[in-house]
Amino acid sequence: MTTAGGSNKTGEVTQLDRVTIRFAGDSGDGMQLTGTQFTKTAALFGNDVSTLPDFPAEIRAPAGSLPGVSGFQISFSSDDIHTPGDRPDVLVAMNPAALKVNLGDLVPGGGIIVNTDAFNEINLKKAGYAADPLHDGSLKGYNLFEIPMSTLVVGACEGLGLSSKQVELTKNFFALGVMFWLYERSMEGTERWIAEKFAGKEGIAEANRRALRAGYAFGETTEIFHTHYRVPPAHLPPGTYRNITGNEATALGFVVASKLAERDLFLASYPITPASDILHQLSSYKHLGVKTVQSEDEIAAIGAAVGAAYGGALGMTTTSGPGMALKAEMLGLAVMVELPLVVVDVQRAGPSTGMPTKTEQGDLLMSMFGRNSDSPIPVIAPATPAECFDMAIEAWRIALKHMTPVVYLSDAFLATGAEPWLIPQIADIPSIAVKNAPAAGPDAPKFRPYARDPETLARPWAVPGTPGLEHRIGGLEKLDELGTVSYDPDNHHRMMLLRAEKVARIARDIPKTEVYGDERGDLLILGWGSTYGSIRSAVERLRTRGKRVAHAHLRYVNPLPEDLGEILSRYERVLMPELNLGQLRMLVRSKYLVDAVGFNLVRGKPFQIGEIEAKAESLLGESVEGSK
Amino acid sequence: MTQSELPVLTKKDFESDQDVRWCPGCGDYSILAQTQKTMPDFGVAKEKIVFISGIGCSGRLPYYMNTFGFHTIHGRAATIATGLKAARPDLMVWVITGDGDALSIGGNHLIHAMRRNVDLKMIMFNNRIYGLTKGQASPTSPIGKKTKSTPLGTIETPIIPINLVAAAEASFIARSVDTHSEHLQEMMHRAGEHKGSAFLEVLQNCNIFNDGAWRDFTDKSVKEDRMLVLKHGEPMIFGKERDKGIRLNGMRPEVVSIAPGGVSVADLLVHDETTEDPTMTHILSRMWWPDFPVPVGVFRRVPRPTHDQLLVEQIDGAIAARAAKGPIDLQRVVASGETWTVK
Ligand SMILES: Cc1ncc(C[n+]2csc(CCOP(=O)(O)OP(=O)(O)O)c2C)c(N)n1
Ligand code: SF4
Ligand SMILES: [Mg+2]
């Protein structure tokens, strides 16, 4: 087992500062659950954690097959960590297919814990193994631990009167028990969870509890593990924490935004992976007054959101790439009628249906430009799962203050990945409330729905039901200020510029760009969205080796921050890693005329730290060569 | 302002200051006039009324109404109305659409607005043609119709709008004719009074691209013999002499002559708007001249809770149930799940 820092053997306990484990099995084996339980336990213990679930798009691909393998990777540490780890130190493989799919990622010399009972002829064949890898010497370079989990749970569950199928289903808890022992973790949290989850099904609860304890006891009593491991708590800032995924944080952020804006939250959405969980969560908040509609398609969803916004509510919609494509025309209408609206695109690997459960940053240019004509829309992007909460509020703050639709770009990695979150005090978050246009008496001058705030250029929010404000809006070009239909050429030109300027001015209203690392130097790594963790870790490592490197990360992609040009000018070179073929780079190069170098991988997976590090090293090497 | 304090409004109050820009002679003028005339009926303040339209000649109507108005995009007016009504149950929402807007590009939304029973009143201007885009076939153009896009005649079976919305569970379905102003006003009035999704098909003449599409039976000189005015609780009688009727033979309607010693009024079908089963609506919707008189009037009117009402009930119920367990604290929602404290 490798460690990120030094290891220090104390008798039979080895202290490590970071461990990465991958649980892998058939999609019916409960690997997501096992991983989540381990994550919670590590977080409750005080480690910093970061997770990466990796599941197939098919709900149940054929059992034992390679496409049916589901995995969950967790990295936990006594340090502040930013990613779920490049490669696992330990692989828990519940069947041959899980071993085959994941072995390549394991660090050399890493630990493999297998359920030997699943390594039968049929499963080996399904996984495409000609010979049993447990016995053909092919795992020689690893630390193999063979445990007949299915057999052992049968013993543990004896006398409960459960079917053999029900008993077999508890083997993931056995594996979890083994891991708890191996990493000195308490079973308490998981036992509590079992009691709650299987309340009323005592037999099942007891079986799972016994399987968990049997796994733990197995670790303790057998001799197959020579040591177990200790990862001490991390030094996180004081406060109360919970573990949170990006989708959860996004949903919570919107609920809090609704409170801060003093307006009802209305979500219309059409189910799509990996965005659906936001719809699910907000649909469960009826008691908080959240209105949700499952629309007939993505066009209807954004239409309903526009309708709700027109009525004065926080109208929003959530989707992923294919749904985002369908929303283009309605987004154009929102630009024209200048109503506040938030559209969440949880990006996934494309084009078309692509790889629905895998991550990518491919929808940036579509969000920026994917409409007819010049129709500017601000685009923001959270960088970590927990940050989704703040950015969800930010999306609404900008939409309301500047009377504009806002695109919020999350992605599959942020959506399903989790990390500890220092729970904020809601009462301390500033209000984002704006006022409706006031009623007008019969003698008031004619209402001007497109009169603008001199500072932001926002137009008034004139909601139906307000006496004296009866007026008509729509997708036809508006006469400046009066808002009636106009085909006047100069007016159209002026309105095009006004709409562009309105969005451009948002740059005055966003925080300064943070730069981590050297204030000037050889290399700036510039990223946006979910690549934050990998880039930051890479820059940390490069800097410990004395490299003059810095990291800047954009949460505001359109408009770009006012200070970005100056920041770019302070570095010899700029590297831009993106999980697309260079979309932000195209924008940055054209705006700042800087020769930014791309690093683009589109494999449906987040960047590994080492990959960015290596790319940066090679660029730095070139620079040194060049300066000689 | 409460309803009782409302000043009495007139047609003039509902006319906006915009010049009306349809082709001279277009049926849309009459529909607009009847709409403006009907609005005072409801005792609803102007600012509480919203007209939402899609794209097409029909889509321009909101500009001419001195209420709130939203001219949206092609086919999607119903979606915007759905969101608006969900967010603002206090508003009276009208949707203005065309045969292409509602049945072609917006067909999916039409179906779902109806089945949800969104409390909106939809007026569909059916001119059997795409007017705004200058004369292509629409989903209601009859088979064989020659248009700019179908120079040899359409080869597609038309949609019968009433048949479609009945299948989509519309709770109010009616039909009228642009030039039959009194009947049209009555239908608008009844649509406006209905709680839930009301669908009103107006047979409208596009005198530029499809002149006379309905003339064969809507013309004043022939309409009594070629149209059947449906009236709730009354036998289905038509004809200048009121001597013809509709009788049901098995599942098939048939035209019969009422004559002493022959078919009597008692043998005729009696119209019932309120039957839950939509079968009769389907049967009536398929009656077409020259085989049958073309029915107009309210085909169907059944009470059903509206979408916004059910949405609000669920929310109120959830709030009450939750409040019974103690005050709702957003801070606790945010901090839900397992938490731990770092000192
Ligand atoms: C997305 C989109 N596609 C096409 C058009 C062009 N278009 C405008 S109106 C229309 C057809 C309108 O027909 P109908 O709904 O029957 O209305 P009418 O003009 O006859 O009243 C079309 C195809 C458009 N505006 N938007
Ligand atoms: S094109 Fe036809 S429907 Fe459109 S305004 Fe002219 S006459 Fe009316
Ligand atoms: Mg038409």
Residue A168 domain flag:
yes
Residue where a domain terminates, one of A473, A508, A543 = A508
* Residue A181, min C-alpha distance to chain B (Å): 21
CA torsion through residues B43, B45, B46, B49, sign = negative
Claim to verify: residue A203 and residue A285 sit in the same structural domain? no
Q: How large is the C-alpha radius of gyration of chain B?
A: 23
CA torsion through residues A333, A336, A337, A343, sign = positive
Q: Cα torsion at A378, A383, A387, A388 (round to 10°)?
A: 50
Claim to verify: residue A331 and residue A440 sit in the same structural domain? no
Closest residue by Cα to atom 2, ligand 2, is: B206
CA A549 to CA A598: how far, in whole Å?
16
Report A:468-497 residues touching B (Cβ under 8 A). Answer: 468-476, 484-485
* Closest approach atom of ligand 2 to CA B204: 3
Residue A76 domain flag:
yes
pLDDT in tens, B179-231: 999 999 999 999 999 999 999 999 999 999 999 999 999 999 999 999 999 99
Residue A572 domain flag:
yes
Q: Are A96 and A119 in contact (CB under 8 A)?
A: yes
For residue A26, give the nearest of A135, A117, A90 by alpha carbon. Answer: A117
Q: Are B161 and B172 in contact (CB under 8 A)?
A: no
Res A612 pLDDT > 50: yes
What's the average model confidence in pLDDT over A115-121?
A: 97
Q: Give the pLDDT score at B6.
A: 67
Q: Are A75 and A84 in contact (CB under 8 A)?
A: yes
Claim to verify: residue A424 and residue A439 sit in the same structural domain? no
Question: Pocket around ligand 2: residues whose beta carbon is below 6 Å from it?
Answer: B 22-23, 26, 28, 57, 127, 131, 206-209
B79·A484 Cβ contact <8 A: no
Q: Give the pLDDT score at B254.
A: 98
Instruction: List b or e across B82-101, with b for residues whose CB sees 16 or more CB atoms inside 10 angstroms.
Output: bbbbbbbbebbbbbbbbbbb
Closest residue by Cα to atom 3, ligand 2, is: B206
A40·B338 Cβ contact <8 A: yes
Residue tagged 């849309």 (tokens):
B28
Helix (H, G, I), strand (E, B) or coil at A524: strand
Claim to verify: residue A282 and residue A167 sit in the same structural domain? no
CA A46 to chain centre: 22
Q: Which ligand sits nearest to residue B178's alpha carbon?
A: 2
Q: Are B284 and B230 in contact (CB under 8 A)?
A: yes
Residue where a domain terminates, one of A428, A451, A481 = A428
B3-213: CATH number: 3.40.50.970
Cβ neighbours for A22, distance < 8 A, ≥ 6 positions apart: A71, A72, A73, A74, A88, A90, A91, A92, A102, A105, A106
Q: Are A325 and A293 in contact (CB under 8 A)?
A: no
Cβ neighbours for B4, distance < 8 A, ≥ 6 positions apart: none
Residue where a domain terminates, one of A181, A198, A230 = A230
* Closest approach atom of ligand 2 to CA B28: 8
Chain A residues in contact with B70 (beta carbon < 8 A): 310, 337, 472-474
CA B284 to CA B298: how far, in whole Å?
11
Confidence band for A5, pLDDT divided at 50, 70 and 90: very low
Report A:16-55 residues touching B (Cβ under 8 A). Answer: 40, 43-44, 46
Question: Is the CB of residue B48 less than 8 Å away from at least one CB of chain A?
Answer: yes
CA A236 to chain centre: 21
Q: Give the pLDDT score at A175.
A: 97
Claim to verify: residue A64 and residue A171 sit in the same structural domain? yes
Cβ neighbours for A32, distance < 8 A, ≥ 6 positions apart: A53, A55, A70, A72
For residue A334, give the nearest of A475, A219, A486, A158 by alpha carbon. Answer: A475
For residue A428, what are the CA distances in angstroms to A260, A424, A452, B124, B206?
A: 10, 8, 31, 51, 61
Burial of A24 (0-12, 13-18, 19+ CB in 10 A): buried
Q: What would the DSSP string read from start to end of B183-242?
A: HHHHHHHHHHH-SS-EEEEEE--BTTTBTTTTHHHHSTTTHHHHEEE--TTSB-EESTTS
Confidence band for A11, pLDDT divided at 50, 70 and 90: very low
CA torsion through residues A280, A282, A285, A286, sign = negative
Q: Please state the domain extents for chain B.
A: 3-213
Claim to verify: residue A184 and residue A331 sit in the same structural domain? no
Residue tagged 């006891």 (tokens):
A217
A242·B18 Cβ contact <8 A: no
Report B:301-320 residues touching A (Cβ under 8 A). Answer: 311, 314-315, 317-319
For residue A291, give the nearest of A319, A254, A327, A320 by alpha carbon. Answer: A254
- H or E element: which one contains A8? strand A8-10
* B331, closest residue in chain A (CA to CA): A426
For residue A213, give the nearest of A244, A175, A246 by alpha carbon. Answer: A175
* B322, closest residue in chain A (CA to CA): A287
The count of structural domains within chain A is: 4
B318·A337 Cβ contact <8 A: no
Question: Is the CB of residue B91 less than 8 Å away from at least one CB of chain A?
Answer: yes
Claim to verify: residue A59 and residue A118 sit in the same structural domain? yes
**Token pair of A572 as six digits:** 């010899």
Q: Are B138 and B129 in contact (CB under 8 A)?
A: yes
Question: Is the CB of residue B80 less than 8 Å away from at least one CB of chain A?
Answer: yes
Residue A235 domain flag:
no
CA A192 to CA A190: how far, in whole Å?
5
**Token pair of B310 as six digits:** 């059910």
A464·B68 Cβ contact <8 A: yes
A240 vs B67, B71, B335: nearest CB: B335
What's the average model confidence in pLDDT over A578-582?
A: 98
Question: Is the CB of residue A343 less than 8 Å away from at least one CB of chain B?
Answer: no
For residue A523, what are the CA distances in angstroms to A35, A332, A569, A575, A580?
A: 37, 39, 11, 7, 21
CA of A210 to the centre of ligand 2 (A): 77
Residue A295 domain flag:
yes
CA of A302 to the centre of ligand 1 (A): 20
pTM of the model: 0.94
Chain B residues in contact with A296 (beta carbon < 8 A): 108-109, 111-112
Res A4 pLDDT > 60: no
pLDDT by 10s per residue, chain B, length 343: 445 566 789 999 999 999 999 999 999 999 999 999 999 999 999 999 999 999 999 999 999 999 999 999 999 999 999 999 999 999 999 999 999 999 999 999 999 999 999 999 999 999 999 999 999 999 999 999 999 999 999 999 999 999 999 999 999 999 999 999 999 999 999 999 999 999 999 999 999 999 999 999 999 999 999 999 999 999 999 999 999 999 999 999 999 999 998 899 999 999 999 999 999 999 999 999 999 999 999 999 999 999 999 999 999 999 999 999 998 899 999 999 888 888 8
**Token pair of B32 as six digits:** 């607009």
Claim to verify: residue A112 and residue A259 sit in the same structural domain? no
Q: Give the pLDDT score at B5.
A: 64
Confidence band for A627, pLDDT divided at 50, 70 and 90: very low
Helix (H, G, I), strand (E, B) or coil at A576: strand
- For the sheet with A8-10, list strands across it: A8-10, A13-15, A228-230
Res A36 pLDDT > 60: yes
**Token pair of A144 as six digits:** 């193999």
Chain A residues in contact with B95 (beta carbon < 8 A): none
CA A584 to CA B107: how far, in whole Å?
38
B73·A329 Cβ contact <8 A: yes
pLDDT in tens, A416-452: 999 999 999 999 999 999 999 999 998 999 999 999 9
Claim to verify: residue A504 and residue A519 sit in the same structural domain? no
Domain that holds residue A472: 435-508
- For the sheet with A379-380, list strands across it: A291-294, A265-269, A314-319, A341-347, A405-411, A379-380, A556-558
Residue tagged 């960047």 (tokens):
A607
Average pLDDT, chain A: 95
Closest residue by Cα to atom 8, ligand 2, is: B26
CA of B27 to the centre of ligand 2 (A): 8
A472·B70 Cβ contact <8 A: yes
**Token pair of B28 as six digits:** 């849309």
Claim to verify: residue A375 and residue A479 sit in the same structural domain? no
Confidence band for A383, pLDDT divided at 50, 70 and 90: very high
H helix runs in A186-339, sequence order: 188-197, 202-221, 246-261, 276-283, 298-310, 321-326, 328-337
* B308, closest residue in chain A (CA to CA): A291
CA of B100 to the centre of ligand 1 (A): 6
Residue A399 domain flag:
yes
Claim to verify: residue A416 and residue A474 sit in the same structural domain? no
* Residue A474, min C-alpha distance to chain B (Å): 4
Residue type (1 letter), A128: G
User: For residue A598, what are the β-bridge partners?
Assistant: A576
* Residue B256, min C-alpha distance to chain A (Å): 44
B73·A296 Cβ contact <8 A: no
Q: Give the pLDDT score at A12.
A: 79
What's the average model confidence in pLDDT over A341-354?
A: 98
* Closest approach atom of ligand 2 to CA B27: 8
Residue A237 domain flag:
no
Chain A residues in contact with B55 (beta carbon < 8 A): 475
* Residue A14, min C-alpha distance to chain B (Å): 24
Share of chain A above pLDDT 70, in %: 97
* Residue A477, min C-alpha distance to chain B (Å): 11
Claim to verify: residue A494 and residue A565 sit in the same structural domain? no
CA A599 to CA A516: how far, in whole Å?
19
B55 Cβ inside 6 Å of ligand 1: yes
Q: How large is the C-alpha radius of gyration of chain A?
A: 27
Burial of A451 (0-12, 13-18, 19+ CB in 10 A): middle
- H or E element: which one contains B281? helix B279-285
pLDDT in tens, A199-255: 999 999 999 999 999 999 999 998 888 888 999 999 889 999 999 999 999 999 999
Residue A371 domain flag:
yes
